[in-house]
Amino acid sequence: MIKIQLVDDEANILSALKRLLRPQGWEIHGFTDVEEALGSLREHNYAVIISDYQMPTADGVTYLQFAKQRQPDAVRLVLSAHGDRNSMIKAINQAEVYRFLSKPWDEHEIVAAIKSAIDLHLLRAENRHLLKQVQHQQTLIRAREQELLRLEQENPGITRVMRDDDGSVLLDDDEPR
Amino acid sequence: MPHTDMSEREQLSARLEQANRQLLQSEKMAAIGQLAAGVAHEINNPVGYVYSNLQSLETYLGDLFRLTDAIDSADSVADLQSIKRNIDYDFIRTDLGDLLAESREGIERVRKIIAAMKDFSYVEDEAFKLANLHQGIETTLNVVNNELKYKAEVVRDFGDLPDIECILSQLNQVVMNLLVNAAHAIEGFGRITIRTRQDNDQVILEVEDNGKGIAEEHLTRIFEPFFTTKPVGKGTGLGLSLSFNIIEKHNGRMDVHSTPGQGTCFRISLPVRQPATEDKP
Ligand SMILES: Nc1ncnc2c1ncn2[C@@H]1O[C@H](COP(=O)(O)OP(=O)(O)OP(=O)(O)O)[C@@H](O)[C@H]1O
Ligand SMILES: [Mg+2]
């Protein structure tokens, strides 16, 4: 299940968004309180985090910076009533937000933005998964190499055992034909 | 020659006056610009969710019409019931009430902000007239009575006042803002005292409450537009900045004394007569 976190100090914004996004079938968690939103980052893995820009206790960019530390894979969006350039620049540089959405929002626009954020999240998760796999395989290979080295040290030549065509071990020191 | 001297002086003072007017105008524009930026933010929030709710409403209506249109075309009641389940009728039904109530709340907030904006701009046709401040206070008390009666006992400590030159409807608005703020500051049931007296060519008006008071660090900010400590949606933070503006326009002063935990007193002094404006002889 795709989980999405919404943070806005205004409850009516949260319910309007939940309402609008309901047909998409995502699990949506709304928070008016930044502390609670932070807390929930410990309990849920979010695909997308959307935060208001200006809130009384913390500004959205600061919140998203925290969120980035806790859940680097969650894609961050800002929803702002400001729309001025400075706030946009700050959001992009400091919290590496993926999109900057403005209030009032349009259904298609916001759904499209969230969908592509989810795609990005899945891509990142897939990347991370593949990276892990590669790393795991590399450690296996390294362990095997080390074992071979150890064997070679104890019994020089053992790792270069020669076999004939049907697989039987050749015990003489001659080169195989 | 004294004659040319005179006309040079006249020219100079005319230029000075023009420069002054321009300065005033640019100050006004700057203030409006600042206000507009703040207002855009304040308005975009409610407009944001109302607009979003309208889009949801459109979806709901589409679904509901699918159901009602099917009344004519469906083969059986079971078909209708299946559509009804499909569109999540029960959810739509309960959510519609919330959707409308929240949207109404948003529109109400926008309305309030626009109304306040109007009062910021100088309304030319409202003239200064001699009026009785006590009468204004009584009118205002009638208007806000509902908000006050469960929150506080209102004590009138009125002195003898001459009629003052003012725009009474605007002073009423100031008194209303102060009274509502006082009522909001009171937890439980408290007391609001309205005091008036004359002090030479000034009249003094005080509105005092025994509510929770204003924190020291907020004292310098309460007159800023949009500064509020009230929950989102409850206070727009325009009441005091608006009032400050009105008092300034009346060439008066407004200040505040507050002790956290004990109460707050707003004090306004107004000249009995407005100073003659320059263009009057
Ligand atoms: N009598 C009072 N006692 C305590 N605090 C007060 C009082 N009057 C004003 N304040 C503080 O000053 C702030 C600003 O007041 P102001 O009237 O400008 O806005 P508001 O009451 O919050 O919103 P509104 O626009 O609805 O009036 C309040 O939020 C409150 O914190
Ligand atoms: Mg107020």
pLDDT attached to residue A20? 96
Say if B277 falls within a structural domain: no
CA nearest to A102, candidates A9, A13, A11, A2: A13
Q: Is there a contact between B44 and B110 (Cβ–Cβ < 8 Å)?
A: no
Is B278 domain-assigned?
A: no
Q: A50 - beta bridge partners?
A: A6, A77
> With bands split at pLDDT 50, 70 and 90, how would you rate the model's confidence at A61?
confident
- Shared domain check, B245 and B142: yes
B60 and B161 fall within a common domain: no
Residue B15 placed within a domain: yes
Cα B223 from Cα B235, distance rounded (Å): 13
Going by C-alpha positions, the residue among B177, B260, B257, B256 that lies closest to residue B212 is B260
| B22 and B73 belong to one structural domain | yes
Hey, what's the torsion of the CAs at B173, B178, B180, B182, to 10 degrees? Answer: -170
Chain A residues with beta carbon closer than 8 angstroms to that of B94: none
DSSP A163: B
Does A16 sit within 8 Å of B102, measured CB to CB?
yes
From the list A67, A136, A138, the residue with the least C-alpha distance to A97 is A67
Q: Which of A7-11, A165-169, B164-168, B250-254 has the lowest mean pLDDT?
A: A165-169
How many distinct structural domains can be found in chain B?
2
Q: Tell how far the Cα of B137 is from the centroid of ligand 1, in angstroms.
A: 19
Domain boundary among B78, B100, B123: B123
**Are residues B130 and B119 both part of a single domain?**
no
Domain borders along chain A are: 3-129
Helix (H) or strand (E) holding A48: strand A48-52
Tell me which ligand sits closest to the C-alpha of residue B183.
Answer: 1
Q: Is the dihedral of CA B233, B207, B164, B28 positive or negative?
A: negative
Tokens representing residue B211 in the block: 């509510």
Q: Give the nearest ligand 1 atom to B238 CA.
A: 25
Q: How distant is the Cα of B279 from the closest Cα of chain A, in angstroms?
A: 42
Using an 8 Å CB-CB cutoff, list chain B residues near A19: 52-53, 56, 95, 99
What are residue B161's phi and psi, to 5 degrees?
-120, 140
Size of interface A-B (CB pairs under 8 A): 69
Residue that is last in its domain, among B89, B107, B123:
B123
A117 within 8 A of A3, measured Cβ to Cβ = no
- Reduce the DSSP state of residue A5 to 3 states and report it: strand
Choices 3.40.50.2300, 3.40.91.10, 3.90.79.10, 3.40.1030.10: CATH for A3-129 = 3.40.50.2300
Q: Could you tell me if B150 and B108 lie in one domain?
A: no
Residue B90 domain flag = yes
CA distance B70 to A61: 49
* Residues B107 and B143 placed together within one structural domain of the fold: no
A75-104 core/surface letters (b: 16 or more CB in 10 A; e: else): bbbbbbbbeeeebbebbeeebebbbbbbbb
Chain B CB contacts of A9 under 8 Å are 232
**Token digits for A126?**
């897939």
Same domain for B96 and B222? no
Question: For position B278, what pLDDT does the model report?
Answer: 45
Domain stop point among B76, B106, B123: B123
Residue B51 counted as domain residue: yes
Helices (H) and strands (E) in chain B, counts: 7, 7
CB contact (8 A) between residue B49 and residue A10: yes
pLDDT in tens, chain B (281 residues): 455 566 777 887 777 777 766 666 666 566 566 666 667 778 889 999 999 999 999 999 999 999 999 999 888 899 999 999 999 999 999 999 999 999 999 998 888 777 766 655 544 457 899 999 999 898 888 778 777 888 999 999 999 999 999 998 889 889 989 999 999 999 999 999 999 999 999 999 999 999 999 999 999 999 988 889 987 767 778 889 888 988 998 999 999 999 999 999 999 999 999 997 644 43
Edge-to-edge strand list for the sheet holding A99-102:
A27-31, A3-7, A48-52, A75-80, A99-102
Distance CA A137, CA A131 (A): 10
- What share of chain A in percent tops pLDDT 90? 60
- Which of A12, A54, A102 faces B105 most closely, judged by CB atoms? A12
CB nearest B99 (choices: A19, A56, A103): A19
Question: Would you call A20 and B45 a contact, using CB atoms and an 8 Å cutoff?
Answer: no
Q: CB A13 to CB B49 under 8 A?
A: yes
Helix (H) or strand (E) segment spanning residue B74: none
Residue B279 is assigned to a structural domain of this protein = no
Torsion of CA B130, B133, B137, B138, to 10 degrees: -80
- Those residues whose C-beta lies under 8 Å from the C-beta of residue B31, and which sit 6 or more positions away, are none
Say whether B241 sits in a helix, a strand or coil. helix
Q: Are strands B202-209 and B164-166 parallel, antiparallel or unpaired?
A: unpaired
Pairwise CB contact (< 8 Å): B46 & A9: no
Does B128 lie in the same domain as B186?
yes
pLDDT at B20: 67
Q: Is residue B129 part of a domain?
A: yes
What's the mean pLDDT in A19-32? Answer: 96
- Taking an 8 Å cut-off on Cβ atoms, the answer to whether A19 and B56 are in contact is yes
- Beta-sheet strands, E only, within B160-273: 164-166, 190-199, 202-209, 253-259, 263-271
Question: The domain spanning residue B180 has which CATH number?
Answer: 3.30.565.10
Q: Rounded to 10 degrees, what is the CA torsion of B179, B180, B183, B184? A: -140
pLDDT of residue B279: 44
Taking the Cβ of residue A25 and every Cβ of chain B, the question of whether any pair is shorter than 8 Å is answered with no
- Tell me which residue has its CA closest to atom 13 in ligand 1: B228
Out of A10, A106, A107, the one facing B233 most closely (by C-beta) is: A10
Residue of the nearest CA to atom 9 in ligand 1?
B181
d(CA B158, CA B141): 14
Same domain? B91 vs B213: no
Please tell me the pTM assigned to this model.
0.57
Interval between CA B226 and ligand 1 midpoint (Å): 10
Residues A128-150 have pLDDT tens digits of: 899 999 999 999 999 999 998 89
Identify which of A10, A56, A83 has the shortest CB distance to residue B45: A10
Same domain, B47 and B93: yes
Token readout for B88 is 């999540």
Residues B47 and B178 in one domain: no
Q: For residue A78, give how far its alpha carbon lies from the nearest alpha carbon of chain B (Å).
A: 14
The complex's ipTM works out to 0.71
Residues in the ligand 1 pocket, defined by CB under 6 Å? B 177, 181-182, 185, 209, 211-214, 222, 227-230, 235-241, 264
State the smallest CA–CA distance between residue B160 and chain A in angstroms.
45
CA dist A77 and A105 (Å) reads 13
Confidence category of residue A89, pLDDT binned at 50, 70, 90:
confident
Residue B144 domain boundaries = 124-271
Cα–Cα dist B279/B281, whole Å: 6
Give the pLDDT of residue B127. Answer: 82
Q: For residue B94, what is the domain's CATH number?
A: 1.10.287
CB B253 within 8 A of CB B269: yes
- CB contact under 8 Å between B49 and A15, yes or no, is yes
**Are B2 and B111 in the same domain?**
yes
B56 CA: distance to closest CA in chain A (Å) = 5
3-state DSSP call for residue B201? Answer: coil
